[in-house]
Amino acid sequence: MSVVNEQVGLGIHTLRKKNRLFPKLMKQKFLFLLLIPGMIYFLVFKYIPMYGILIAFKDYSPQDGVFGSPWVGLKYFREMVEMKYFWTVTLNTLKISILKIAIGFPAPIIFALLLNELVSNKFKRIVQTISYLPHFLSWIIVAGLIFQLVSPRYGLYGLISDAFGWQPRILLGNADSFLQILLVSNVWKEIGYGSIIYLAAIAGINSDMYESAVIDGAGKFKQCMYITIPSILPTICMLFVLGLGGILDGGFDQIFNLYNSIVMPTADIIDTFVYRVGLVDMRYSFSTAVGIAKSVIALILVLTSNWIVGKLSNYTVF
């Protein structure tokens, strides 16, 4: 009898939860309507194409299709591991990505801290607008601007070299200068847009803390070190963890539009390698295997970095 009563009680409790849930859903129905386009996007472009993962384990042929191609197991994963050039592009990717994180990650934080100290709101808005604009330019346009600037014959660099009597170099044909151009252009393009989330975090800091610090005699620098930065530290940790997840990206759009055969040994990354092997050479199975390996490693990096950051600072993404 007690078992029956427990089951009846459980059923009533579940029914009450459903009855409470439905009014909440109806109350927020317009928010769910706004959510539908995003859900459709992820369903169509992210989840449904996942069946293509099978290509990595098959000897894929467009004529036979995904399900008609024969299984080959881990053949292309073994080929990937045994290929020396794959490790070359992996090292190139890590080198470029680590430098981008080391230089590009702190830049928006510093920029946001500096913007926060501007007294004139009008000047602050002007600076923000100017710094945000490059983000909305495609890398094709930015690459065209860079070509015009660093051209040894017709660009600004060439004109300055002629004016000072210098012998101009082909900057995009030198491995060291090419890497410097990558880093500088990446910071220039993303520093403004990347500072938005930090400015939002700074705006949420309680102003009473600053007033108390002023009363205690703390200057701007100490306010920044002991109030602003600790307050936005959870945001910094979250973006750092997510940034480590993209450490194997390297920036395909940027490098693809800027690199050439001269700097390819040091500028070729995993994504450009996959592009050539998959779309140019039409080795779909091999390129898919490389893509899967890259995604798995990125997931491991995110989970590991999130665990380490959580141990060191008690702030985690999930």
Question: And the tokens for 209?
Answer: 């803390």
pLDDT for the residue numbered 161: 86
Q: How do residues 10-31 score in pLDDT, each as one tens digit?
A: 455 554 555 577 777 788 888 8
Output the CA torsion sign for 107, 108, 111, 116. negative
Closest of 252, 256, 298 to residue 271, by C-alpha: 252
- For residues 60 and 81, what is the distance between their CA atoms, to the nearest angstrom? 19
| Domain parsing of the chain, residue ranges | 1-40, 55-313
Q: Does 8 score more than 60 pLDDT?
A: no
Question: And the tokens for 85?
Answer: 């050039």
Q: What is the DSSP letter of 174?
A: S
- For residues 111 and 66, what is the distance between their CA atoms, to the nearest angstrom? 48
pLDDT for the residue numbered 163: 85
8 Å CB contact between 96 and 270: no
pLDDT for the residue numbered 4: 45
The per-residue pLDDT of the chain, averaged, comes to: 88
Closest of 238, 236, 244, 234 to residue 300, by C-alpha: 244
Q: How do residues 76-100 score in pLDDT, each as one tens digit?
A: 999 999 999 999 999 999 999 999 9
pLDDT for the residue numbered 298: 87
- For residues 293 and 282, what is the distance between their CA atoms, to the nearest angstrom? 19
Q: Can you tell me the mean pLDDT for 173-192?
A: 93
Closest of 244, 300, 250, 299 to residue 275, by C-alpha: 250
pLDDT for the residue numbered 16: 54
Q: Can you tell me the mean pLDDT for 50-68?
A: 90
Q: Give strand pairing partners of 71.
A: 58
Domain 55-313 has CATH 1.10.3720.10: yes
Q: What kind and span of H or E run contains 244?
A: helix 229-245
8 Å CB contact between 59 and 285: yes
8 Å CB contact between 255 and 272: yes
| Distance between first and last Cα of the chain | 44
pLDDT for the residue numbered 19: 59
Q: How do residues 95-123 score in pLDDT, each as one tens digit?
A: 999 999 999 999 999 999 999 998 888 99
- For residues 21 and 32, what is the distance between their CA atoms, to the nearest angstrom? 14
